Amino acid sequence: MEFGVAIRNMGPQSDPDTILRCVQAAEERGFESAWVVDHIAIPPDDAEGSNGRYLDPLTTLAWLAGATSRIKLGCSVLILPYRPPLPTAKVVATLQELSGNRLLLGVGVGWMTAEFKALGVPRGERGRRTDETLDFLHRCFAADEVEAHGQRFLFRPRPARPPILIGGKGPHALARVIRFGDAWLPMPAPLEELQADCARLAELASEAGRAPPGLTLLGRLGTDSAGDGRVLEGYRALGAQRVIAATRYADADACMRWLDALVALREQG
């Protein structure tokens, strides 16, 4: 099971020096991947912990790609209905190209009503828009020549398509994983719920005649060694290929201590 770490691209911990130190330290300690989140318009009454400060995830990962060489770079998750399909595909392809194929593209439909309102995007259309963008991304990475709105165009650069990890839960999310995803990336949930959803996902994959999708799980890890061990045991039992560890560290020094605790946890097996 691979280990990734969530890097805070929000709040006071998102200053350039802190982010850079944290990601480079994660790479030096041999973690497989570093992940950032996506928020674009936090309302004033929901800004606790971040003060409304969020760095754009793809821009942040592009910057980090130039400051690292081995660690994979993930988004958990990019809210697709916030963005138009073609510019999104272009940014994703550019980041994949410039990073040397290190992008892990987690995507989701979003949930925050205030953000949809600020963007002028009807929240009720989020599922349809997400599916349309996913279909478009697959088409862009499948051929140099693509059509959109009746216009043919060349989609270049066209590196290898990054792995697509589908967020969310429930019937629509699981169906989306089967149709578009390489893996499922659910929010943290009790193991019993995840077990039932994983079983349903395997059934859907069998019905679709495709291999079961991968599984990446998020968890608050690195602060409770006994509890962390039980969590990881449960994740392994579910067949997870990757765990993304997260915590709320106060600054770069606190992040270093947390990463060292995760190294010890990882080495326990």
Cα–Cα distances in angstroms (integers) from residue 150 to residues 22, 153, 154, in the given order: 45, 10, 13
- Find out whether 198 and 215 touch, Cβ atoms under 8 Å: yes
Tell me what pLDDT residue 269 has: 65
Per CATH, is 2-267 categorized as 3.40.50.300? no
pLDDT along the chain (269 residues), means of 10: 98 98 98 98 95 98 98 98 98 98 98 98 98 98 98 98 97 98 96 96 98 96 87 95 97 98 89
Question: Alpha-carbon distance 223 to 202, whole Å?
Answer: 32
Kindly state the tokens that stand for 126: 């989020």
Tell me what pLDDT residue 192 has: 94
Model's pTM, two decimal places?
0.97
Question: Alpha-carbon distance 175 to 181, whole Å?
Answer: 9
